[in-house]
Amino acid sequence: MVQPDGQQPVAPSALKGEGAQCFVEFEDGTAGQHPTSTPRALETDEIPGIVEDYRQAAERAKRAGFDMVEVHAANAYLLNQFLATGTNKRTDQYGGSLENRARFPLEVVDAVIDVYGADRVGIRMTPFIELFGLTDDEPEAMAFYMAEQLSKRGLAYLHLNEPNWAGGDITFPDGFREQMRERFSGSLIYCGNYDAERAEARIGENTTDAVAFGRPYIANPDLPERFRVNAPLTEPNHETFYGGDEKGYTDYPFMDNGYDRIQ
Ligand SMILES: Cc1cc2nc3c(=O)[nH]c(=O)nc-3n(C[C@H](O)[C@H](O)[C@H](O)COP(=O)(O)O)c2cc1C
C-alpha cells in the first residue's frame, strides 16, 4: 500500500500510466516493482493544497540546511503530467491551452521561490520524453513557454534530461538547445548518457552551462575526482538500482590512494 488507507493516487486526469511501475514493499515484507493503479483526477479546489505541500516541502528542505532546491517537473511525475497534452485532459484553468497546462507547475515554482528566492531554485524538465505512457503533442512549445516564464522569474537553472537517456532514438530537435538558451537567462544543465568527454564537448557549446550525471554517480561516489584524474569508472549494477539495503546504494568503492591512474 503506497497511499494512506489505500487511497488512489492523484493526477491531472484519471488515466492509467501504461507500463508504469512503482517500487513498493509487499505485505509479506518483500519489495519490488508493481504496476501502478489508475489515479483519480484532482479537483480544482484541491490544487492550492498541493501547491502548499510543495511550499511546506521547501520550508523543510530549508530547515534541513539545503542550499538550493530543484522542482521536479520531469519524467512523468505529477508536474510533468500537467504539462503534457497526453496526460492532462482537464477542462478547468489547469488544462487545455499551453498557459493553462503550465499554470500548476508555475504556481509550485512560485511557492518554492517564496521560500528560497529565485536564485536558489531550479527546475527539472523532460520535454520529448515519453515514459510510463506519458505522451505530449507540444513538447517544444511547452519547453519554450516554460523557459520564458522561468526566465522572467529569475530562476537559477533549468535542468533537462536527454530524451534518449533510457533508450530509444528520440533526441532534441535541431536548434532546440540554442533556442532554449535564447529564452532562458539562468544556467542550463543537460543530463543523460554523458561521459566526461562528451560532457566537456557539450559544455564547450554555447548552449550548456553544466552536465549532470545519474548512473555513473550511483556507482562512483567520487565521480568528480575520477573525472579529474581520468580514472576508470565502476559500472553500476542495474539489479540493485531500486530499493533494498546498502548493497548498490552506499557500498560502491572509492578510489584507493594507490589507485592506478591512467595519466
Ligand atoms: C535508479 C534510478 C532512479 C532514478 N530516479 C529518478 C527520479 O526519481 N526522477 C528523475 O527525474 N530521474 C530519475 N532518474 C534519472 C536520472 O536522474 C538521470 O536523469 C538518468 O539516469 C540519466 O542520466 P545518466 O545517463 O547520467 O544516468 C533515475 C535514474 C536511475 C538510474
Nearest to 184 by CA among 216, 207, 215: 207
User: What integer pLDDT is reported at residue 260 of this predicted model?
Assistant: 47
245 lies in some domain: no
* CATH code for position 99: 3.20.20.70
Q: How far is the CA of 179 from the centre of ligand 1 (A)?
A: 25
8 A C-beta contact, residue 131 and residue 163: no
236 lies in some domain: no
pLDDT tens digits, the chain, 263 residues: what are they? 678 888 999 999 999 988 888 888 888 888 888 898 999 999 999 999 999 999 999 999 999 999 999 999 999 999 999 999 999 999 999 999 999 999 999 999 999 999 999 999 999 999 999 888 899 999 999 999 999 999 999 999 999 999 999 888 899 999 999 999 999 999 999 999 999 999 999 999 999 999 999 999 999 999 999 999 999 999 999 999 987 788 999 999 999 754 544 43
Residue 49, helix vs strand vs coil: helix
Q: How far is the CA of 137 from the centre of ligand 1 (A)?
A: 23
To the question of pTM greater than 0.85 for the whole model, the response is yes
Catalytic residue among 54, 77, 217, 242: 77
220 lies in some domain: no
Is 54 a residue of the active site? no
Which residues span the domain enclosing 78?
A: 51-212
Which residue is closest in CA terms to ligand 1's atom 7?
A: 75
8 A C-beta contact, residue 163 and residue 126: yes
250 lies in some domain: no
Ligand 1 atom showing the smallest separation from residue 213 Cα? 26
Grid cell at residue 70: 530543484
Which residues have any ligand 1 atom within 6 Å of their CB? Answer: 72, 74-75, 124, 161, 165, 191-194, 213-216, 241-242
Q: Probe ligand 1: pick from 33, 69, 72, 75, max atoms within 8 Å of CB?
A: 75
Please state the domain count of the chain: 1
DSSP class of residue 200 equals H
Q: How far is the CA of 117 from the centre of ligand 1 (A)?
A: 26
